[in-house]
Amino acid sequence: MPVDDPLKLDLQLCFPLYAAARAMTQAYAPLLSKLGLTYPQYLVMLVLWETDGVTVKELGERLYLDSGTLTPLLKRMETQGLVRRERSTEDARSVHVHLTSQGRALRRKAVSVPEAMACKMGLSLEELSRLRREVRRLFETLSKSQPEPTK
């Protein structure tokens, strides 16, 4: 096998990205379990802590999740008492997601999660910022090259 074999696992960018994404999610798990959240629930909470009352559609667009994934996730969060879903009075097809007082209070406990994760990663703030920019740029480039989904 030639040294520069294009099908060699170690030469693929996709594999370390995949492995890093899995490791990242696993690293979050013990921190989030203290909050009673899964990683996808944490992402929902991050959006709602920024902007409470977004629609399910907006939430899906922000997190790149379809409604088939998001709806059961939100139902579980509603059962946990973190959010409430409310159908729009102007458009019955639109559902807004609001934080409950318990969901808002959880933010105070979650504020230590980003710093704890930064420590786990062992990167400087500058390295973290650069890596985030590069990964975001890669994602945006790949997203633009994808065909639009058919409706």
Q: Is residue 68 part of a domain?
A: yes
Q: Is residue 52 part of a domain?
A: yes
Q: How many domains does the chain have?
A: 1
Q: Is residue 2 part of a domain?
A: no
Identify the residue with better confidence: 130 or 88: 130
pLDDT score, position 84: 98
pLDDT score, position 1: 55
**Pairing mode of beta strands 54-55, 95-99:** antiparallel
pLDDT score, position 2: 62
pLDDT (tens digit, 9 = 90+) per residue, 89-137?
888 889 999 999 999 999 999 999 999 999 999 999 999 999 999 999 9
Q: Is residue 113 part of a domain?
A: no
Q: Is residue 14 part of a domain?
A: no
Q: Is the pLDDT of residue 58 over 90?
A: yes
Structure-token pair, residue 48: 């709602």
Task: Check: CB of residue 123 under 8 Å from CB of residue 131.
Answer: yes
Give the residues across from 55 on adjacent strands: 96
Q: Is residue 74 part of a domain?
A: yes
Q: Mean pLDDT in the chain? A: 93
Range of the domain at 73: 37-105
Task: Check: CB of residue 73 under 8 Å from CB of residue 80.
Answer: no
Residues 6+ apart with CB under 8 A from 44: 59, 63, 70, 73, 74, 77, 83, 97
Q: Is residue 83 part of a domain?
A: yes
Q: Is residue 96 part of a domain?
A: yes
pLDDT score, position 30: 98
Task: DSSP letter for 8, please.
Answer: -
Closest CA to 74 of 99, 111, 105: 99
Measured CA angle at 45 (ends 43, 50), to 5 deg:
100
pLDDT score, position 150: 55
CATH code of the domain covering residue 78 = 1.10.10.10
Can you tell me the distance from the alpha carbon of 83 to that of 78, in angstroms, rounded to the nearest whole number?
A: 5
